[in-house]
Amino acid sequence: MKISTKIVQSGLVTDKTTGAISTPIYQTATFRHPELGCSTGYDYSRSRNPTRKAVEEAIATLEEGHAGFAFASGLAAITAILMLYRPGDHLIITEDCYGGTYRILEQLFTQFGLSATFVDTSDTHQVRQALQPSTKAILLETPTNPLMKIADIRAITSIACANNAQPIHVIVDNTFLSPYLQRPLTLGADIVIHSGSKYLSGHNDVICGLAVACDPALCEKIGFIQNATGAILGPQDSWLLLRGLKTLALRLRQQEENALAIAKWLTAHPNVTKVYYPGLADHPGREIQESQAAGYGGMLSFVVDHPRLPAQVLRKVKILQFAESLGGVESLITFPAVQTHADIPADTRERLGISDCLLRLSVGIEDVDDIIADLAQALEE
Ligand SMILES: *Cc1c(COP(=O)(O)O)cnc(C)c1O
């Protein structure tokens, strides 16, 4: 079955008694036991809830993993995954990762004895060099946020496998491409995480997170952490995520088509000095992108030629909304240096290229001519 079909089949007829096409919202905290020592499979909704189970099964199917887990946010999913590790363990992380991932590692998990080295994961050599005897995981984002750097998932999983001292997990934050375009578990990764608040739900109306793994023993550990710590996704939000998920393929196809047209238009604009979009012919790592993903996604960033321009653009846009987040049907524009990446120190930001002239677009499904016209008038002096 093709991925677009699998996406639409998500959560289809999960209620066998009524045959409801849409998964019902099981708004219940607890479930009656038929008799002592007997359970319907559902006891208490922190542990398991039928609406959440439908979305967990859907993401496990789409990512081609053994089991999926739904959390209250992307960061709750990341937190649960980081809880797999112990004091003294070391992780290697993509340096221009999501700001919240950086913050949770630097300001929270260091308290519990985890250490992290942030490297440019588009350079496999840097990943190899960062290995320590205590390295337990490599956490990747590809393409990265906001500079769209491409990491070679296969090459990095083979570095992790070749490490004989102990198993190293490769964890991929697949938020930017979704399983419609990229399925890291099929490329050798061990765990996939998502902010479902972005492309998977797709309508800027729910905060949620997901994790999927292949190895049954690893899934059991993640399930234990999910139940033990309790940052689960509620039934209403699970339903919203399922509802949004069904149109993922259609949305992303349109977003990608729009993004490519906008990237090309921006490239030719006199006030734009650089455009970061993996679909552009000269984008670094484009060949790797094409070897591991079915497309380029709907995210792009661009650099304007004067630090006064970002504020002007953000003030003048009418169709594009000046708002954080990404992946929804509405086009959003963000200023990474002060919004999504504020927790990364200024000198690191500058070195990474997250400058005061960089703007990021999450391209929506509007008519692309309208988005381009909006950008054109916003960039005009
Ligand atoms: C948004 C985002 C997160 C965090 O997810 P929340 O749902 O906001 O908690 C993590 N990783 C990436 C790449 C994101 O874009």
Question: pLDDT, tens digit, for every residue of 274-286?
Answer: 999 999 999 999 9
Same domain? For 51 and 135 the reply is yes
Q: Of all protein residues, whose CA lies closest to atom 7 belonging to ligand 1? A: 74
Q: State the DSSP code for 180.
A: H
366: confidence class by pLDDT, cuts 50, 70, 90: very high
Dist CA 331 CA 369 (whole Å): 13
State the chain's mean pLDDT as an integer: 96
pLDDT over threshold 90, residue 254: yes
Rounded-to-integer distance, Cα 54 and Cα 66, Å: 14
Q: For 65-109, how does the pLDDT look when each residue is reduced to its tens digit (9 = 90+)?
A: 999 999 999 999 999 999 999 999 999 999 989 989 999 999 999
CATH assignment of the domain containing 64 = 3.40.640.10
246 in catalytic set = no
Q: Looking at the CA of residue 209, tell me the nearest atom of ligand 1.
A: 7
104 and 207 share one domain: yes
Would you state the pLDDT for residue 174? 98
Q: What is the value of pTM for the model shown?
A: 0.97
Q: Is the pLDDT of residue 344 over 80?
A: no
Q: For residue 353, report the distance from its CA to the centre of ligand 1, in Å.
A: 20
Residues 235 and 323 in one domain: no
pLDDT of residue 151: 98
Q: Whose CA is nearest to atom 1 of ligand 1?
A: 195
Q: What is residue 263's predicted lDDT score, i.e. its pLDDT?
A: 98
Is the distance from CB of 304 to CB of 313 less than 8 angstroms?
Answer: yes
Confidence of residue 163 (pLDDT cuts 50, 70, 90): confident
Choose among 274, 359, 290, 340: nearest CA to 150. 290
The number of beta carbons lying within 10 Å of the beta carbon of residue 364 is: 25
Burial of 37 (0-12, 13-18, 19+ CB in 10 A): exposed
Q: What is the pLDDT of residue 351?
A: 86
Looking at the structure, tell me whether residues 217 and 170 fall in a common domain.
yes
| One domain for residues 256 and 172 | no
Average pLDDT over residues 121-144: 97
Probe target for ligand 1 pocket from 75, 193, 343, with the most ligand atoms within 8 Å of CB: 75
pLDDT of residue 77: 98
* Residue 42 per-residue DSSP state: -
10 Å Cβ neighbour count for 203? 15
Please give the DSSP secondary-structure letter assigned to residue 111. G
**Residues framing ligand 1 (Cβ under 6 A):** 73-75, 98, 100-101, 141, 145, 173, 175, 195, 197-198, 207, 209
Identify the CA nearest to 166 among candidates 138, 133, 191: 133
Number of domains in the chain: 2
| In the predicted structure, residue 175 carries a pLDDT above the cut 80 | yes
- Residue 198 a catalytic site member: yes
Query: What are the CA-CA distances from residue 195 to residues 2, 128, 272, 312 (Å)?
Result: 23, 27, 30, 30
pLDDT for 381: 82
Q: Are 31 and 235 in contact (CB under 8 A)?
A: no
Range(s) of the domain holding residue 26: 3-243
**Does residue 173 carry a catalytic annotation?**
yes
CB atoms near residue 5 (< 10 Å): 9
pLDDT at 165 over 90: no
Q: Beta-strand (E) ranges in the chain? A: 67-71, 90-94, 115-119, 135-141, 169-173, 191-195, 209-213, 272-276, 299-304, 321-322, 332-334, 358-362
Catalytic option among 6, 42, 46, 120: 46
- 83 and 100, same domain (yes or no): yes
Say if residue 333 is in the same domain as residue 186.
no
Q: What number of helices (H) and strands (E) belong to the chain?
A: 14, 12
